[in-house]
Structure 1
């Protein structure tokens, strides 16, 4: 019954997505296209002219693709979790309507979570497909990067929804995006190794789930991953996901049973 209820919640979000899927797909294609042209072909040529041991014999385009993929999926996961959850929790939101049905708060959350999983997989596949057209990733590594991107997306959307369901003002969402998500995007190893950050900032980067996702994806893409470090990254992201789901289930129950 719980699985069936979650699928019903998913059906609602898929029904809504029928009106917006074209725009989201265009964005998922245009963003990596611009990144590859500007960074992979533009800046990348300047960097590739000078041998760099941190690239492990690869081009700069091949180096940044895993970081860009994971960072983009993270950013989209937050935007699609925080904003819609906040709107859905309002007195006239769809969460309130759904809570008046036999669906439990956990079912409502699980249905929305399934939708985020599908969107993350869609974004990752489209992103990698564009990068593959530039020769920045091959088919074998592309197949491995998709589940990593989905894991990172869930590690962010679960705690983001757990927090957003309690938010009372949209300004808080904007502050979270500006002062947390964007700095993570810039300083978690997306464009350059975090070893180039100031020494006091490096431990902060290591503690973020985005760095674990980027380092995991980059290690897989560049064939530099080791089993111990891979297990650490996966365990960290899985723990972050489990904690986010647990807090989301609790907060949904508290907010929707009011």
Structure 2
């Protein structure tokens, strides 16, 4: 009698909990994204402050400071106006890779978040895509602040600057997806520092952010062309200046999309090896 009553009470309680539980989204990756957004709510204030402070310091230091010594500008364009789109693209790259290195590594090696998520009714693709969506969110919010600051400095000369968020979103995915694969495959975080030292910094310096790629020797010029950052820089510069890009828009977009798709496939394979037993 007691067991029956107790069982009935437990059954009623379980049913009440099931009714109170929010339904799972039709796209499970959104549940993963929501997980990261909940964590981000605790730190967003510091992130927003740095998102505004970084472009102000960069524009004042490089655009107005260094630009004051470059009288002729670049191709008849004021150096600040020429520099800003490169800084936008490089900032998107740095945010995307920053969110795709230690966070991914720690989710496997330290806090084991991915393993906990894999115990839920989530596929590997959901875990990967949801985290990539959060990286995309971080890129877009940072670049939105950057665009606002640079607009106040009068460095956006064309209404086509409105397409810049779409460009940096694709650039962010193009570098974040393969970085996910890399961060999930290494066994020490020292490899992540090497990625910044030998990939991120050289790309930032030589992919057309601070000076035209045409100034490089021919061999290094083609290395720069091979980086996703140069394609993002050229598209952003064409948009903010209202000029035609050096390569076709379709060529740039297809190249970045290939990086994003190839990186996602590699990351999915690396995640699956670790999460599926």
Q: Quickly say closer, same or farther: Cα 1:3–1:246, change in 2 above 3 A.
A: farther
Among 16, 20, 24, the residue aligned to 2:47: 24
Paired residues of 2:161 and 2:239 also in contact (CA < 8 A):
no
Correspondence for 1:13: 36
Q: Quickly say closer, same or farther: Cα 1:139–1:93, change in 2 above 3 A.
A: farther
Q: Distance in 2 between matches of 1:200 and 1:33?
A: 34
Structure 2: gaps of 5 or more residues: 1-23
Segments of 4+ in structure 1 off by > 4 A?
none
Alignment of 1:19-58 (within 5 A): 19-47=42-70, 49=71, 51-52=72-73, 55-58=74-77
Q: Deviations over 1:86-125 (max 9, x none)?
A: 0001264211111111111111111101111111110111
Q: Distance in 1 between matches of 2:137 and 2:44?
A: 12
Aligned length: 254
Q: CA offset at residue 142 of structure 1?
A: 2.8
Q: CA offset at residue 219 of structure 1?
A: 1.6
Q: Distance in 2 between matches of 1:196 and 1:227?
A: 14
Q: Deviations over 1:138-181 (max 9, x none)?
A: 57233121111111111111110111111210000011111111
Correspondence for 2:18: none
Correspondence for 1:115: 134
Paired residues of 1:124 and 1:150 also in contact (CA < 8 A):
no
Task: Identify which of structures 1 and 2 has the higher relative contact order when contacts are C-alpha pairs closer than 8 Å and 6+ apart.
Answer: 1
Among 149, 155, 163, the residue aligned to 1:130: 149
Structure 1: gaps of 5 or more residues: none
Q: Distance in 2 between matches of 1:97 and 1:15?
A: 16
Alignment of 1:62-211 (within 5 A): 62-90=81-109, 92-138=111-157, 140-211=159-230
SS in 1 for 2:99: helix
Q: Deviations over 1:43-79 (max 9, x none)?
A: 11221x2x25xx3432111001110000011011001
- With 66-75 and 98-107 compared, the bigger mean Cα shift is at 98-107
Q: Deviations over 1:200-248 (max 9, x none)?
A: 2111111111111111111222222159611111110011111111111
Q: Quickly say closer, same or farther: Cα 1:205–1:177, change in 2 above 3 A.
A: same
Q: Distance in 1 between matches of 2:137 and 2:110?
A: 27
Paired residues of 1:90 and 1:96 also in contact (CA < 8 A):
no
SS in 2 for 1:200: helix
Q: Distance in 1 between matches of 2:185 and 2:26?
A: 25
Q: CA RMSD in A?
A: 1.7
Correspondence for 2:243: 224
Paired residues of 2:25 and 2:31 also in contact (CA < 8 A):
no
